[in-house]
A and B are shown apart, each in its own frame.
Chain A
Amino acid sequence: MMQHTLTPRRWLILVAVMLGASIGDTLLSTGMKHIGPVSLNHLSALFFALKNAWIIAGIVVLLGFMACYMTALSWADITFVLPATAFGNVIVTVLSRFWLHEQVSLSRWLGVALIVIGVGFVANGPSRTETVETAAKVEALP
């Protein structure tokens, strides 16, 4: 049974959580592809990566994501918020394929589908948004 305890503003924050991580990661990936492979002996290259415009854009988007994510965590269980990021996997795969032009194999698409279905199981699950009383009411229903 679905509990409509989330306000539109909270749904909006969950949508931002979903999109933010995907777009942020794609920007980071673009930046790192520009920089090229970093070797374990030259990890300092990772700090210089912070000067790259793509990486900076990615960080800005991910900071926005973090702000929404932390707000969501203050009113919901972490296992309830994480499914929102799971659908982001589909978005990131689409972005990898059509923006970064990566080869995405059929099994990789299937893997993403399984992950989203799996996480979909918990999307309506118990969360901090339901109080002990409403949980007791749900259990009392036939």
Chain B
Amino acid sequence: MNPDTLHTWVTIFVVVLTATAGDILIAGGMRKLGDLDDIRAASGLFGAIKAVLSSSMFLLGITCMALSFFSLLYALSGADLSLIAPATASLTFITTAAAAKFFLKENVDSRRWIAALFVCAGVALLAK
């Protein structure tokens, strides 16, 4: 693996890691809040916005998302969109599925794990 390729994949890895942390924190925060449509029906749009912004888990998630965003900009400045976008999005899918199982206790059934295998194979092909 030449240094440029390694550099690109390390950047992709950082994007994926921060995006996963952001996803899990935001999902956890939203889960604690409950159905946003219900909150909006009960206390209006500003009530819903206030409820979201007062969740510390949500704010931490947003911080991770911001870090992920700048890593993505960095990645895009040096490599093709057709590599970066599918690779980061789909690897985030896998790490998030795994993290959702461990942290959010979501039911990740065998079908979702088969999906993860396909995604891994797909990402391997992207790199060629």
Contacts and interface: CB of A to CB of B under 8 A. Distances in A.
Pair from one complex: yes
Interface of A: 21-22, 25-26, 28-29, 32-33, 35-38, 43, 46, 49, 55, 62, 66, 70-71, 73-75, 77-79, 82, 85-86, 88-89, 92-93, 95-97, 100, 102-105, 107-108, 110-122, 125-126
Contact of A38 (B74, B104, B115): B74
Interface of B: 23-24, 26-27, 30, 33-37, 52, 65, 69-70, 72-74, 76-78, 80-86, 89-90, 92-93, 96-97, 100, 104, 106-109, 111-112, 114-119, 121-128
Nearest to B36: A74
B30 A73 contact: yes
A35 B85 contact: no
Nearest to B123: A111
A125 B112 contact: yes
Contacts of B83: 108
Contacts of B86: 89, 92-93, 108, 111-112, 115
Contacts of A125: 109, 111-112
A121 B85 contact: no
Contact of A79 (B70, B89, B100, B122): B100
Contacts of A43: 70, 74
B93 to A, nearest CB: 5
A21 B97 contact: no
A113 to B, nearest CB: 7
Given A79-B96, A89-B89, A35 B126 contact: no
A82 B36 CA distance: 19
Contacts of A102: 80-82
